[in-house]
A = this chain, B = another copy of it.
């Protein structure tokens, strides 16, 4: 296998540019490591200017034409978007018997199972290391490094923008909107931050991790998704007081009902290493029956880390290495049984803003009792008659359904003047790192 591997890259934005640069800058190293040249044989972007850096590389402005006309073994899709040209490009490339590498989490979360089936039928690879947690080689770890294990749970900090915002809010005491605006200025958040701050980006990645961990089809629609817009500086302060840290986590696990997938802000014990993963860093934890708990940490986005992941996939193809893209071949995948969120059990942090009238607390306690939610602790700070004051409670383990019913009753109380804030307290008992 000493013939060069020919690579065609569609999309020359941040990641695409980084990938071409890596392949050319580290070409000698890559040749030593995989025994053959990795050649950028074609590039494609609607904006021809983006290709100007590499005048020696054949340029296309139509991605489908590139698949048809370029001499390429591998098509690298870095255009983005769950549908449209990105999807069409991958389908066309597979149909033409070419390997596909992509960093497109939305595409894989929505259409990954179908693309993998099509690729298996054609005997080509579909690889997407860069789609999950940027530079962290987590899809490889799940498909290969931990292959001997039954995975019981996989979770992580999957969105660097949210982690940056939550970290900065904690460090500075500032509020969400303020920190988001700054993150946008610094380039850590998009002009339209919806996908990031609403948890959708993390849910895309979680859906992919779930499939890899459990050998089931990807089911993005089954991810219970909440973002970080409602996290306040006050909640972060209370969390610290309770020895927790608020992190947006994606968590997938097997329950007695099926597979639970959820993305939401969590209170995590400071004793858990993931509580200390700050700023734009991502981390993924996988619990296996033999390996116990393993954690993987690194940059979750950005030109260079993402290019590192794209190139790792290309090298696997160059070396002729393959493993089922989603852990098991499509024909062997388990049907996906959704574990419903209202069957979820856990502990909860609740913050109410109440007018400080006599009897309020008795009403709240009665609502919890009526819904069979058992209180663990109460924190109340500052009393100024007539002014709203925060009341913070933590609960013992209860079901999500009971908690939601109790919150509905509490919200109806006259003295409770804004919707209660609820943050799940996430313990990871059973895993080793804690």
Q: Which residues of chain A have a CB within 8 Å of any CB of chain B? A: 18, 22-23, 26, 29-30, 32-35, 129, 135-137, 140-141, 144-150, 215, 273, 276-277, 281, 288-299, 304-305, 307-309, 311-312, 315-316, 319-324, 327-329, 332, 432-433
Which of A30, A33, A293 has the most chain B CB atoms inside 10 A of its CB? A33
How far apart sit A414 and B141, CA to CA, in the bound complex (Å)? 57
Q: Is the CB of B298 within 8 A of A298?
A: no
Chain B residues, Cβ within 8 Å of A332 = 32
How far apart sit A147 and B129, CA to CA, in the bound complex (Å)? 13
Q: Is the CB of A296 within 8 A of B295?
A: yes
Chain B residues, Cβ within 8 Å of A315 = 144, 147-148
How far apart sit A297 and B146, CA to CA, in the bound complex (Å)? 13
- How many copies, total? 2
Partner of A294, one of B135, B289, B290: B135
Q: Is the CB of B324 within 8 A of A321?
A: no
Q: Is the CB of B299 within 8 A of A296?
A: no
Q: Is the CB of B328 within 8 A of A146?
A: no
Given contacts A296-B294, A298-B295, A319-B322, contact A33 B308 (CB under 8 A): no
Closest to A272 in B: B276
How far apart sit A323 and B30, CA to CA, in the bound complex (Å)? 12
Q: Is the CB of A311 within 8 A of B147?
A: yes
How far apart sit A405 and B393, CA to CA, in the bound complex (Å)? 60
Q: Is the CB of B328 within 8 A of A33?
A: yes
How far apart sit A327 and B319, CA to CA, in the bound complex (Å)? 12
Given contacts A33-B324, A150-B29, A328-B33, contact A294 B304 (CB under 8 A): no
How far apart sit A294 and B302, CA to CA, in the bound complex (Å)? 14
How far apart sit A150 and B29, CA to CA, in the bound complex (Å)? 8
How far apart sit A267 and B137, CA to CA, in the bound complex (Å)? 29
Closest to A275 in B: B276
Q: Is the CB of A144 within 8 A of B135?
A: no
Partner of A308, one of B149, B215, B297, B324: B149
Q: Is the CB of A323 within 8 A of B324?
A: no
Closest to A135 in B: B291
Q: Is the CB of A150 within 8 A of B26?
A: yes
Contact sample, A vs B, 10 pairs, CB 8 Å cutoff: A18-B290, A26-B148, A30-B147, A135-B292, A140-B144, A148-B308, A290-B305, A291-B298, A294-B299, A299-B432
Chain B residues, Cβ within 8 Å of A295 = 295-298
Closest to A129 in B: B145
Q: Is the CB of A148 within 8 A of B298?
A: no
Q: Is the CB of A311 within 8 A of B26?
A: no
Given contacts A146-B312, A299-B432, A311-B148, contact A136 B32 (CB under 8 A): no
Given contacts A273-B297, A319-B323, contact A148 B290 (CB under 8 A): no
Chain B residues, Cβ within 8 Å of A149 = 26, 308
Partner of A290, one of B22, B289, B316: B22
Q: Is the CB of A323 within 8 A of B146?
A: no
Given contacts A32-B332, A215-B32, contact A298 B292 (CB under 8 A): yes
Chain B residues, Cβ within 8 Å of A22 = 148, 290
Chain B residues, Cβ within 8 Å of A316 = 144
Closest to A283 in B: B295
Partner of A137, one of B145, B298, B312: B145
Closest to A296 in B: B296
Known: A33-B324, A144-B312, A291-B309. 20 other contacts (CB 8 A): A26-B149, A26-B290, A32-B215, A33-B327, A34-B323, A129-B145, A135-B290, A136-B294, A137-B141, A140-B141, A140-B145, A141-B145, A147-B312, A148-B311, A148-B312, A281-B432, A290-B307, A293-B299, A295-B295, A319-B321
